[in-house]
Structure 1
Amino acid sequence: MTVYSKIIGTGSYLPAQRVTNADLAAQLAAKGIETSDEWIVTRSGIQARHYAAADECASDLAVKAANKALEAAGLSAEEIDLIIVATSTPDFYGNFPSTACIVQHKLGIRNNGAAFDVAAVCSGFVYALSTADAFIKAGNARNVLVIGTEVFSRILDFNDRGTCVLFGDGAGAVVMSSSSEPGVLAVKLHADGSHGDILCGPTNPTSAAISGQKFLYMDGQAVFKLAVTVLEKVANEALEHAKMPASDIDWLIPHQANIRIMNGTAKKLGLALEKMVVTVNEHGNTSAASIPLALDQAVRDGRIKSGQNILMEGVGGGFTWGAVLARM
């Protein structure tokens, strides 16, 4: 019997502290930096973002999203035999122990399968989802918890309005299980390290201390140009692999980074904007958490229904990009 992987539960979590554009503009004005709600919305579509509390780490956000996904799936934590966490802001610098192992412990799971992190920045959830799909189809896992979780507020330069207004914190999770019915229909992943300098995090530590760049850096124009090109291409690759026309997509769930990039991708695929799930306005760019956050919201508000086809795609630092076509 052919084994497939299928998403059977979703969950998400946003930290309690909600920061509107007006809040952020006032904070920046105190430093002599000018911005406004209109300036931010016009360029990104973002109206607010959430910041983790001082005592909240990526694993804390992940556990809250994971518990909701487990509840939706009707599974207990002990039934999970693989945890994959996509994050660029792990609990520990150097990423050991991995955030996935910390999540496993906080969920009360002991010695039941593997747990590891995936680092592909804003494409991280798509990379993690495809990895879970491969594990399940190979018979190496039955129930997989896939989580995207970020606390990007910790690596933002609040003297740079070009980046600090764009990012927020949050987590999203799905439970993927083996199924006799097709779930994941196609996966396409890419990377090109030659573009690594246009979007990157803090510099690695030297033997003495962190040297060089201390915050996230982004060349906005270069990222925009590359993103609109690769997202259309990878989406069409996934559709071609599944032998499915774009018209059969019920919902497009792109990485929630910039409404202009998202709208551009939908139009190039010939999809009505009404078929695209948009949550960037409420939480900004939450990197690896953005796709599962949007997915969970659309599932819980009833837009996404069983049997529908969804296309999830992301692009991020590395440079990485990818798409997963799935049937719910």
Structure 2
Amino acid sequence: MSTLHSPSAQVVRQAIDWSLRLRQPEVDPRLYEQCTQWRSAHADHEQAWQRVQTLSSDLNSTFDALPGAGQTFETLENSARQLSRRRTLKLLSGTVLLGSAGSWLARDYPAWNADFSTGIGQCQSYRLADGSQLQLNTDSVASLAGPGQLQLERGELLLDCTTPVSVAGRHGHFEAQAGRFVIRQEASRSRVSVLQGQLSIHGVGGPVTQVAAGQHYWVDTKGVQRLAELDMEAGAWAQGLIVTRNMRLADFLAELGRYRRGYLGCTDDIAGLRLSGVYRLADTDQLLAMLPKTLPVQLNYRTRWWITLQRQV
């Protein structure tokens, strides 16, 4: 269990500002000393500084591996130097993006102003004030909207509650008196799975739908649709697992790709191969290396961040 504590958005902006100033050519040596003083003034300053530096390093590594993206981060930096400070912060926070690799930057950049967030490959657990336990899956963002109210802004959550709670999402909002449920928000629809208790789905312009334990629904702007079954266990990720039931290889790789950076896919002739089993997410490279032992496939590494599975020769 992790205790929620992150630097404020203002402190993070200050860290970004210091980082940009120190990247300028011919930096005044006194600026380094001033930055050191700022970092040592408060523990939050140092935490924000380290996160910004880690992000910068990760972005350079990711962009280096992307075709045509070699100059993207450099372009981003150079453009930022020519903009006002306010626009620079927007640029680096992901609201303004440059180049074809912009979506990679948006995906990797942490949601500094959210109450709860996770990076790629990270799952996090939080204890809320009302005693509920919130778990966020990889690359997810949620915020408190009031007592017993959550806003799912991106990704997937699992909520275990003993008091009334509501979750607002892009495609509707969901209410439970008590229970355990998973909500996964995608671009065009959301998936709801009730593990215990009961949940009410309030769709956009439609009637309220009651969901019982063991049931799953898709929710979009057109309505609510019951799913007969899932090809993977809805809440297994909270235990660091993917549990599949006759799942297509292409769908499995798409799911696994949520937990790692870069491209992960397969050729069309093996996309329909099926997997059933329990797979640990702790090391996705090791997981991938095991696939040729159970399926007639081989891994083709274009780079560390660009992997294609093809039929075994």
TM-score, with length taken from structure 2: 0.28
Structure with higher helix content: 1
Q: Which has the larger radius of gyration?
A: 2
Structure with higher strand content: 2
Relative CO higher for 1 or 2, CA cutoff 8 Å, sep ≥ 6? 1
